[in-house]
Amino acid sequence: MVLLTMVLTKYALLHSFIQHSYVSNLEFGILIASVLSITAGGYIVNDIFDLETDKINKPDKIFIASSISEKNAWRSYFLLTSTGLFLGVYLSIIKTLPFFSFIFVFSSLGLFFYSKFFKKKVLLGNLLISLFIGLTIYIVYLFCFKYHEFTLKEQLNSMLFLQVWLAVISYTLFAFLITFIREIIKDIEDIHGDLKIQAKTLAILVGRKRAAKFAFFFSCILLFFLLMMLQSLKNEVLFLSYGIVFILIPLIYFMHQLWSSESKKDFSKLSKILKIIMLFGILSMLLFKV
């Protein structure tokens, strides 16, 4: 999903507005390798710290200590994270964007501390991981769209830059909101394992039902946001039709199911629905090339 998101952000979304990018295809490959390496490292360290809870929540999906030793898992984490960090800092320096190095440092440290501490704190971990998902889109924009590299004619046409930014920020907010809702749903789904490690997730502090209503509230915000986006595209029949059929209707169905969900199986199904909605949301970038 991360790879697909980055590729579509550059070659479908951004390239529909601009003819050239500040990074070459090779340099973009370095950016992708950096983000994927840091992301993979984040997944591994999360599995290491979640070993005890996963024995309860996902006993059939445990790989640490079964398929791979914990020692080798730590080695893989350090190798992937350090590789991703090196590539990200290297790209930032050669493109004369040294301050962007902090994005990769922040992401690497953030994923570690998320798994170690913040995941157990009410909403803090949810917000942090949602921020990282949104950043997957925005970081492509930061590296590929550099103002001084464009022609004077393009610089004078400030509407171009506003259109690009609005398109990117819309997808970033969409990814952030849907991930935040899904993280709350996952906390409800994993409540028994989280109780064992004395985590203080929203589901534990206020209960499943109240946490589900909280997720429903943010689903309403997402629905309102999508309705505003579709309203602005009312003259674009293809965008409007796609948005209604593949994003809006599934989201309304999700909200209907969320209101009455109670069991772990129900919330697991809801989590999968959100993944599908996010996938279709990202795939809508292809419509910019039509």
What is the tens place of the pLDDT at every residue in 34-59?
A: 999 999 999 999 888 887 776 776 76
Domain count, the chain: 1
What mean pLDDT do residues 10-18 have? 92
Q: Which two tokens stand for residue 43?
A: 């997944």
Environment class of 277 (CB within 10 Å of its CB; exposed 0-12, middle 13-18, buried 19+):
buried
What mean pLDDT do residues 4-33 have? 93
- Residue 10 has a pLDDT of 96
- Residue 51 has a pLDDT of 79
Give yes or no for residue 151 having a pLDDT over 60. no
b (16+ CB within 10 A) / e for 62-94: eebeeeeeeeebeebbeebbebbbebbbebbee
- Residue 157 has a pLDDT of 57
Average pLDDT, the chain: 90
Q: Which residue has the higher pLDDT, 158 or 210?
A: 210
- Residue 156 has a pLDDT of 53
Q: At what angle do helices 158-189 and 264-283 cross, to 10 degrees?
A: 170
- Residue 52 has a pLDDT of 73
Q: What are phi and psi of 64, to 5 degrees?
A: -70, 130
- Residue 148 has a pLDDT of 45
- Residue 226 has a pLDDT of 96
Q: Which domain holds residue 103?
A: 2-289
What lies within 8 Å, CB to CB, of 7 at 6+ separation is 32
- Residue 194 has a pLDDT of 79
Name which of 119, 78, 133 is nearest 282 in CA terms.
133
- 261-286 pLDDT per residue, tens: 988 899 999 999 999 999 999 999 99
Amino acid at site 249: I
Give yes or no for residue 147 having a pLDDT over 80. no
- Residue 11 has a pLDDT of 95
Through-space distance between the first and last CA atoms of the chain, rounded to whole angstroms: 22
- 67-114 pLDDT per residue, tens: 788 899 999 999 999 999 999 999 999 999 999 999 999 999 999 999
pTM of the predicted model over 0.75: yes
64: three-class secondary structure by DSSP:
strand
Q: What are phi and psi of 68, to 5 degrees?
A: -140, 140
pLDDT classification of 155: cutoffs 50, 70, 90: low
What mean pLDDT do residues 210-224 have? 97
Name which of 153, 197, 243, 167 is nearest 50 in CA terms.
197
